[in-house]
Amino acid sequence: MSKCKYCGVEILDDAVKCPLCSGVLDGKKEEGHTYPDVVSGVRKTTVLYRIFSFAFIVIASVCIALNVWLTPTLRWGEIVTCSLAYLLWLGYIILKDNAGYRIRILSGVAGAVLLIILIDTFLGFSGWSVSYVLPAAIILLDLALAILMLINRRNWQSYLILQVAMVLVRRQHSDVAGAVVGIVPLVLIRIGIVTQPLVSDIAFLVTVFMFLGSMILGGRTARIEMKRRFHI
C-alpha cells in the first residue's frame, strides 16, 4: 500500500501515480492487508454479546428477587426474565454466521410466540395467546414466505417445504383433515386450551390457499421440487 506525499491518499494497488493529483508516488510500500479485519470484528461482537449476557443474568436476578420480596402475588419478574431471554436469543440468531435469513425469521417469530404464550401463562392464562396471537403469527409467516418467494424468484421453489411445514401446524374441524394437517393445534382445541377457533381457521385457510397457489402457479417446477423433497 503506497501513500501520496502530496494529498495523503493511500493507494492499494501498484499504481505509480496518484489518481487525484497525478503526483508520482515515492515508491515506499506500507505493509498491511488490503482486506478488512474480519476476525477482529467477530471478536468485538462476541465480547459485546458476552457483556449483554452477563447484564441479562444480573438484571433477571434482581427482578426476580424484587418480585419475590415486594410483590410475590405478581409474576412480573418472570415476564421480564423471559423477555430478556428472548432478546438474547434473537441476538444470538442474528449474529450466528451459518444461520440463513429463513432460519432467522422462523426462529424470531417462533420465539416471540413462545414468549407471548409464557406471558399469558404468567398472567393466569386466559387463552388469548393461542387463540389470537398464534394464528396471527402464522398469517404473518405466510405473508413473509410470499414476499421471500417474490424477492428470490430464481429459487422460489425452495420455500415450498416451509409452506408444507406451515400447513402441518394448522387445524381444521374435520377429524380426518385435522389428523393430517393440524395435529398440534387440534390437540389444543380438543383439550379446551383454544376457545376461539375462528382465527385459527382463517390462518389455516390462508396457509392452504397460498400453498395451493404456489403449486398451481409453479407448475412443473413445483412438482419436481416436492418429489425431490419427499423422495417420490
Q: Among residues 169, 143, 160, 154, which one has the least CA distance to residue 223?
A: 160
pLDDT score, position 45: 79
Distance CA 108, CA 131 (A): 20
Place of cell 423477555: 83
pLDDT score, position 35: 52
Q: pTM (2 decimals)?
A: 0.67
pLDDT score, position 38: 52
Residue ranges of domains in the chain: 1-35, 37-99, 125-232
User: What is the chain's alpha carbon radius of gyration, rounded to the nearest angstrom?
Assistant: 27
pLDDT score, position 34: 52
Q: How many CB atoms lie within 10 A of CB 136?
A: 15
Indicate the SS3 state at residue 5: coil
pLDDT in tens, 175-206: 333 333 345 566 677 777 777 778 877 888 88
pLDDT score, position 150: 85
pLDDT in tens, 43-53: 777 888 899 99
